[in-house]
Structure 1
Amino acid sequence: MELPPLGLFKINIFCPFAWQLYPWNQICGTISNEIESLTNVLGLSVSFGEHMKPNWMRTDLKSQELFNFYEICKMDMSCSGLFESLLRNSNLMSALNEFSNLIERSVKDRVLYTPPRCKNCLHGNNDCSHTKIAVLFSGGIDCSILAAISNKYIPARDPIDLINVAFQKVGVFGETSWDVPDRISAKTSLVELQKLCPQRRWNYVEVNVSREELRSYLQNHIKHLIYPLNTILDESLGSAFWFASRGKGKCLGREYTSPARVVIVGSGADELFGGYMRHRNAFRRYEGNETEKIANLQKELTKDWSRISTRNLSRDDRVVADNGKTLRAPFIEENLVHFVRSFSPSQLCCFLLRAGIGDKLFLRLYGYHIGLKEVAILPKRAIQFGSKIANKKQNAADRSLYL
């Protein structure tokens, strides 16, 4: 099992089986169950110290209902008209400006504090002007925002790699295609980034993975990085992150391997802003009035956020680190998280609107505001479906054949 991220563990090296845990939050049933599993597997004795409960972990945050998407978005208008109308709301703009300060600071810290040389120049003495930062680039609103902000803080001489991964799609007559949904979205987003940041050299890298290559690496290598997680979802996401972070593909028609040592990812955006289909279902399928539906959505968002470390981050960190790169996720910076989670779900997403608009509405509005107007209305696709490594007929919770 993985060491559960429940807080800080203190170990006496002279008595290595007696641990003390200083939990983030007060002891609850979930923490007790995790500790029981840990003691059973490793034969430990775990005692508890005082819980720390930092501000960014609080769950009793009071929302300031200065605007409500469910009240504003009942009007019938085009997407661009709706976005323009929403951005005239002074309370909403105030929140977007505060969010802008937080996300920019988070990205700035994660792209400035990086090694001064790329992987290819590690042992050289010359000044390095190669790519040091790569963005895992599906073309969606999350990664496009991160790419646009990164442009502000990365030296103008350094290129930025935008890495897009696609898994082989086989047609009915056996023909191979790489035009998966994320590949199409990425090309649209690239054009918009080039217009917004014309002085930047964007290295758009297309990583194509055949089914044979996927099976070979998954069976012989990637499965060990994903372990002890073992579902089809872990297999799909872990493989997508591994091949993307390896960065071996084609750039401008030539073979290219990204020399970046830091990989920027959009992890956390869906959990914070309501980007998954299960969030839409938590609202639309719940029997009750609008207030009760939003309360049920809040429960789903809280559940997703509470388990992001065990469901996503540890696995993704391992597979990216295996390629000699550091994974950095600006959306999960503590102050930003504290700010976003103080909002009601009715201020983050609106499932009265169609998919691709209502999910992550707050984030889409921010992207639209900074100039990503086409990207802001692209539909959300989970990476396993957008890259075509998985299909929607599979049960994501089923055990993988490889793991």
Structure 2
Amino acid sequence: MCGILFNLSACSSTPSQAHVTLVSHRGPDATRTHAITAHGKTLTLTSSLLSVRGSEPTLQPLVDASTGSVLCWNGEAWRVHGHPLAEGANDTLEIFKVLLNAPEGRIQDVIGAIEGEFAFVFWDGHGGVWFGRDWAGRRSLVVRRREGEMELASVGDGEGGWEEIEAGGLGRIDVESGEETWITRRSTGEEIYGIPSMNLSQPTLEELAPLSVDSLEVSGLHDALLESLRLRVRDVQLPPNADLHSRHVPANAQEDVRVAVLFSGGVDCTVIARIAHEVLPPDEPIDLLNVAFENPRIVAARSAPPPALNLKKKKAAVPRPLNGVIPPAPTTTAELDPYALCPDRATGLSSYHELCKTCPTRRWRFISINIPYTEVLEHRKTVIDLMYPHNTEMDLSIALAFYFAARGRGAFGSSGSQDYTTPARILLSGLGADELLGGYSRHSTAFRRAGYQGLLDELDLDFQRLGKRNLGRDDRVAAHWAKEMRYPFLDEKVVSWAMATPVVGKCPFGEPENGVENGKKVLRLLAKKLGMEKAAGEAKRAVQFGARTAKMSVESRKMKGTDGLMA
């Protein structure tokens, strides 16, 4: 993975050192700049390197001596023209080769053949600068246009004017004229990425057989995720310089952790962790990163004295269970553990213990990442700058969770007393399961209102807007710690399976639940089949509520998530 910084200017303008430093945070192994003069303009291309794949680091930008072409590549190519890259191959070099051999003016044919998570800037040596993001926008790329100047970057510079590049499209700048062309399905009728359309057929009576752990859909999802995880965890390098992480490692801990899971304990991330166990070497540990925040508003509410007993009532109110456990009675703030009040801590520990029971030979490490409110305030401005141009209260609450989880600094061990920072640079995320498999409450609502047609329409809408949502924001905040997020559910083969599978094979809201919730039922049944009974029953919970980053101050309790940020 790399950080990208590109500048096109009528004068010899260069990016600020502060901006270069921000981009270098994404790739602390090396930073290089290559400048070109063409058609009276100056092109400055800077790349920072996070070396995570292959046997040797490949410094960027890549420059072809014969044509003068230059590539800044940020991301991972898992397959090209449907074929996985050879084990040990460097995807940056492979992509540069196919770009150099592309028919003139048909760069879109090459880009459309790439399956992976990426953003890029490519100077073709003939007068055109090409740029874009993958179909889902899993890697960030933002743009700022000013008079006589255009900038493209993985992350902004903390100043205004940046806009997010649309996912799934391809841009081209004619350096001589300054004309910008944008190639998308809407603008040209041309499909760049071969993502199939959703199977929108209404279920027939023959298709209404209840899903079970033995259904073909369950094994089909397992096979697709198995291939996706195999590609995403192989060839991962250990960090070339351990000092980059300045971590505290217990004497009995190994230094060979390459992969960590963003771990709330929900069914999505737990299945990812469980299948990662099947493909990683048996002696390699897996870190489970579980983040919990001190939320002063929640703590204050729990610390408040109970209301005066109404003697007219026959009995006092009984507290509602939290993950099956009755919470303790209100006490003083000093006695409360604010992190135990986070739902994701309880579900995380539950699923961790289940993983240990199901896969006892694997060294699972549950990392408790506890973030006090004072630390949130200390980093708030940095997170706001990183996530820009996203700028709502909901954006901030979600970005805070990913920012601190990606840092990976917490406590290790059964007692949670040993300081530890994960050395893993690869973070696996369960994002995408809800959109593909019907895991949101709005999916069940759509079914209640309009049956399977309403559900299909809602699923299709979710998929169509997946690339317009928040993956760029999440990449910007997580990569600040030199970490790369990978999304097994958004692998093109997994997506193709989900698009082709009839709706009753994913989320059959019209059939009895029989002990398994119908939202994401195929995934829940897979979890059961893999021995994760408790995780299979965990309810969907948004990260900002599970980690308690939503409405952290008493003043914010009446704010909406879509409200702009307060100063």
The answer to whether TM tops 0.5 is yes
- Per-residue deviation, 1:241: 0.5
Question: Could you list the runs of 5+ residues in structure 2 that have no partner in the other structure?
Answer: 1-162, 246-253, 304-331, 552-556
Counterparts of 1:293-308 in structure 2, within 5 Å, are 293-308=451-466
Larger mean CA deviation between 227-236 and 173-182 belongs to 173-182
- Is 2:561 aligned against 1:400? no
The one-letter amino acid paired with 2:455 is L
The one-letter amino acid paired with 2:407 is R
Pairing partner for 2:498 from 336, 340, 350: 340
- Per-residue deviation, 1:11: 2.6
> Which residue of structure 2 lines up, in the alignment, with residue 4 of structure 1?
166
Q: In 2, distance between residues paired with 1:358 and 1:118?
A: 45
Q: In 2, distance between residues paired with 1:63 and 1:101?
A: 25
- Per-residue deviation, 1:115: 2.0
CA pair 190-266 structure 1, distance change in 2 beyond 3 A:
same
Q: In 1, distance between residues paired with 2:508 and 2:546?
A: 23
SS at match of 1:399: coil
Q: In 2, distance between residues paired with 1:95 and 1:13?
A: 50
The one-letter amino acid paired with 2:423 is P
- Is 2:266 aligned against 1:101? no
> For the Cα contact (< 8 Å) 2:203–2:504, is it kept in 1?
no
> For the Cα contact (< 8 Å) 2:238–2:256, is it kept in 1?
no
> For the Cα contact (< 8 Å) 2:386–2:476, is it kept in 1?
yes
Pairing partner for 1:203 from 362, 365, 390: 365
TM-score calculated relative to the size of structure 2: 0.58
SS at match of 2:469: helix
> For the Cα contact (< 8 Å) 1:118–1:130, is it kept in 2?
no
- Per-residue deviation, 1:14: 2.9
- Identity over aligned residues, as a percent? 33
Question: Could you list the runs of 5+ residues in structure 1 that have no partner in the other structure?
Answer: 28-47, 73-84, 287-291
> Which residue of structure 1 lines up, in the alignment, with residue 262 of structure 2?
136
Pairing partner for 1:278 from 425, 442, 445: 442
Larger mean CA deviation between 359-368 and 342-351 belongs to 342-351
- Is 2:183 aligned against 1:183? no
Q: In 2, distance between residues paired with 1:246 and 1:186?
A: 18
CA pair 12-245 structure 1, distance change in 2 beyond 3 A:
same
> For the Cα contact (< 8 Å) 2:217–2:505, is it kept in 1?
no
Greater helix share, 1 or 2? Answer: 1
Structure possessing the higher radius of gyration over alpha carbons: 2
> Which residue of structure 1 lines up, in the alignment, with residue 104 of structure 2?
none
Deviations for 1:268-316, whole angstroms, at most 9, x for unmatched residues? 11111111122222222x2xxxxx3221222222222222223221111
The one-letter amino acid paired with 2:442 is R
Pairing partner for 2:469 from 304, 307, 311: 311
> Which residue of structure 2 lines up, in the alignment, with residue 45 of structure 1?
none
- Per-residue deviation, 1:350: 3.8
TM-score calculated relative to the size of structure 1: 0.80
The one-letter amino acid paired with 1:225 is L
> For the Cα contact (< 8 Å) 2:169–2:192, is it kept in 1?
no
> Which residue of structure 1 lines up, in the alignment, with residue 481 of structure 2?
323
> For the Cα contact (< 8 Å) 2:213–2:528, is it kept in 1?
no
- Per-residue deviation, 1:324: 0.3
- Is 2:258 aligned against 1:258? no
SS at match of 1:113: coil
SS at match of 2:455: helix
- Is 2:512 aligned against 1:359? no
Counterparts of 1:120-269 in structure 2, within 5 Å, are 120=242, 129-169=255-295, 170=299, 171-172=302-303, 173-174=332-333, 175-179=336-340, 180-218=342-380, 220-252=381-413, 253-269=417-433
Q: In 2, distance between residues paired with 1:154 and 1:119?
A: 23
CA pair 248-49 structure 1, distance change in 2 beyond 3 A:
same
Q: In 1, distance between residues paired with 2:386 and 2:361?
A: 38
The one-letter amino acid paired with 2:237 is P
CA pair 299-257 structure 1, distance change in 2 beyond 3 A:
same
Deviations for 1:181-219, whole angstroms, at most 9, x for unmatched residues? 11111111011111222111111100011122112212x
Q: In 2, distance between residues paired with 1:140 and 1:189?
A: 8
Q: In 2, distance between residues paired with 1:137 and 1:309?
A: 23
- Per-residue deviation, 1:20: 2.5
SS at match of 1:21: strand
Q: In 2, distance between residues paired with 1:6 and 1:155?
A: 34
RMSD of the TM alignment (CA)? Answer: 2.6
Q: In 2, distance between residues paired with 1:155 and 1:129?
A: 14
> Which residue of structure 2 lines up, in the alignment, with residue 289 of structure 1?
none
Q: In 2, distance between residues paired with 1:346 and 1:215?
A: 46
SS at match of 2:181: strand
